[in-house]
Structure 1
Amino acid sequence: MLKDLVNQLERWYEENQHEQIVEAIEQLPIVERDYKIIGHYGRALNNLGRYSEALQQLETVKQQGQQDADWYWRVGYAYFFLQKWQKALAAFEKAQELAFDNRVEAYITYCRKIMKNIVQMTENVQHIPFRKRDFSQFWEQSDYANKNYVEASPTPEIIASIEQELGYKLPADYIWLMQQQNGGIPVNTCFPTVMPTSWAEDHVAITGIMGIGREKTYSLCGELGSNFMLEEWGYPNIGVVIADCPSAGHDVIMLDYRACGNDGEPAVVHVDQEDDYYITFLAPNFATFIAGLINEEIFDIYE
């Protein structure tokens, strides 16, 4: 019976039917869920973005997994997407010690680069505090930006209303920047990455940053704002879309509240619809993301 189920779980995995896997296992009495079944369960939960639940399940068979590279890989994968880089790195390194795997090696490299970048980005922001920076040349001035992005300066009432509609508390530095200019197109539109995306091997690009309001097309609650991208394009409900990208909807930049809760300080991530909504960590907070934007000419291979 269990052998037939395991074979079925493998077929569903090959067909990307991860919800089917979870549903089938959850119908199975807990006493019948052996080590292999829990492994399938954790993997499916990871593939559905339910990383905390995956860790909880994998933890129940921790003793049996001590010599299993797959167990450490699944644990590391969950920690990686929960942005717990040190724990992810430790799990990946143990998996690699048990059985060399190119995918594990890649994630070890990603962890190390991300942790190094976070230190560098944090030092950069600490060297020149965000609100002491010169933003006089930050925004591109254009009729297109004025028509589609730039809202009137947000009042406390508007901010509260938008937060209520979105269901998240906006970062203080984001609100502060929008009070200087409420949305628009930055002069610098690229952010370096340690992982390749559908846009480029080493960076992502944005078209504009959404302002706090409802009037403009690319405002947080505008016609093509955050809720539209979640509801119509199927982006994961992990936070708030704050920037669109040149792909015209096929990737976006989001505030990611999974680790901090709806009222906390969110990380900034890239979500790639072209790659099954793969989430790439960019920066630990909004201020660090803005300070890290660089000009597209740096990535222009024709220069």
Structure 2
Amino acid sequence: MLSAQLNEWHQAGQNRHICEAIEALPAEERSDELICLQARALNNLSQHREALATLESIRTTYADNPWFCLRYGIALFELNREDESIAWFVRAQEGGLEEIDETPGPYAPKTLSKWLTFARRRGPQRLEKNAFEAQLRAQTRVTTPADADYSHFDFTDFWDDCEYSQQSYIGATPTDEEIAEVETELGYRLPEAYKALIKIHNGGLLTRNGFENPLQRDWASPGFAVESLYGVDRTRHYSLCGEMGSQFWLDEWGYPAIGVAIADGISGGHDMIFLDYSDCGPQGEPCVVHIAQESGYEITWLAGNFRDFINGLLPPEEMEEI
């Protein structure tokens, strides 16, 4: 009875119902098969981290099941670990799977061969990207805090001081005390280069709003649009501790807790620019990364520090040439 209901919900795309029904069962009634079905629903809800954790809970007892292997591979693939997913798709295929209806919808792969084709194409690309960025992180991890002097920086056509920017982004010149309060709330030391910049112009929309991807490959995005920089004026809708500030993007949109959302793109929240403290800790000098929400929160390294990020921003006409 439950199996038929779960299948009906799966076909109807009611994946939340599947998760709730399985979670409501007593622990002794949650078989490995049901837990594996819960992982399928979580994958279909784009909750791939949760799906992977769910599958890990039965890995020692169920990893030979081809459906387990398929779902484990899908979770890895969607978490931008395509190189790791290959072996699991192969195991699922060796277990007899080929034609599948794992992810309802017209655009999802309906065969294991197609999943393998995608994984084998993207796996080497992922390994190259990871190695490239690991090298850059290693090089910048030992740098001292970046230059915070903007006296020789050309701000011509840098900011877009339109009415909307003044209302939603640009704040009053902050005091050291106000900046310190924001740092305390965020739990991170903000880069000196950032603090110097917001004393000149406390956030705002950008006219110089493009950044070239350091990894130039025909299969990688050539660059990224950066719509604005967040300031520290709490009265502004888009500021680090404002209504749509850094914590909002972590809590409401599920962005990874690696640091501070410092800027937004042009996608209405589907991509963001973060100060990434993963390598340096909360009091260190963070690098700057792009995070693509619709690509499994894929992280792309942009610059070793905030000042290099500011120096690398380009006007639209130069971005068009990349």
Q: Distance in 2 between matches of 1:89 and 1:207?
A: 30
Residue 87 of structure 2 aligns with an amino acid whose one-letter code is: K
**CA offsets per residue over residues 184-212 of structure 1, 9 Å max, x none?**
54846225298xxxxx9543211221122
1:180 pairs, out of 180, 188, 196, with: 196
Residue correspondence of structure 1 range 182-261 to structure 2 within 5 A:
182=198, 183-184=203-204, 185=206, 187=208, 189-192=210-213, 201-216=221-236, 218-222=238-242, 225-226=245-246, 235-236=253-254, 238=256, 240-247=260-267, 249-255=268-274
Q: Secondary structure at the match of 1:235?
A: coil
Residue correspondence of structure 1 range 260-299 to structure 2 within 5 A:
268-272=289-293, 275=294, 279-283=297-301, 287=305, 290=309, 293=312, 295=314, 296-297=316-317, 299=319
Contact 2:43 2:51 in 1 (8 A): yes
1:65 is the counterpart of 2:86:
no
Partner of 1:84: none
Q: Distance in 2 between matches of 1:294 and 1:121?
A: 19
The runs of at least 4 consecutive aligned structure 1 residues that moved more than 6 Å come to 227-231, 256-260, 264-267
2:129 pairs, out of 114, 117, 141, with: 114
Q: Secondary structure at the match of 2:146?
A: helix
Residue 228 of structure 2 aligns with an amino acid whose one-letter code is: G
Distance change (3 Å), C-alpha of 1:54 and 1:257: farther
Q: Distance in 2 between matches of 1:59 and 1:228?
A: 29
TM-score normalised by the chain length of structure 2: 0.64
Q: CA RMSD in A?
A: 4.5
Distance change (3 Å), C-alpha of 1:126 and 1:270: closer
TM-score normalised by the chain length of structure 1: 0.67
Return the offset for 1:180: 1.4
Return the offset for 1:220: 2.1
Residue 115 of structure 1 aligns with an amino acid whose one-letter code is: N
Structure 2: state its 5+ residue gaps. Answer: 94-112
Q: Secondary structure at the match of 1:149?
A: coil
1:36 pairs, out of 16, 25, 33, with: 33
**CA offsets per residue over residues 9-46 of structure 1, 9 Å max, x none?**
4224xx2x332221011122333333432222123334
Q: Secondary structure at the match of 2:305?
A: helix
Partner of 1:8: 8
Contact 2:15 2:42 in 1 (8 A): yes
Q: Which has the larger radius of gyration?
A: 2
Distance change (3 Å), C-alpha of 1:162 and 1:47: farther
Residue 169 of structure 1 aligns with an amino acid whose one-letter code is: G
Structure 1: state its 5+ residue gaps. Answer: 82-87, 195-199
**CA offsets per residue over residues 38-76 of structure 1, 9 Å max, x none?**
222123334556555433321233242246340431452
**CA offsets per residue over residues 215-238 of structure 1, 9 Å max, x none?**
55542234664467789xx53365
Contact 1:214 1:221 in 2 (8 A): yes
Q: Secondary structure at the match of 1:181?
A: helix
Q: Distance in 2 between matches of 1:285 and 1:229?
A: 21
Distance change (3 Å), C-alpha of 1:255 and 1:10: same
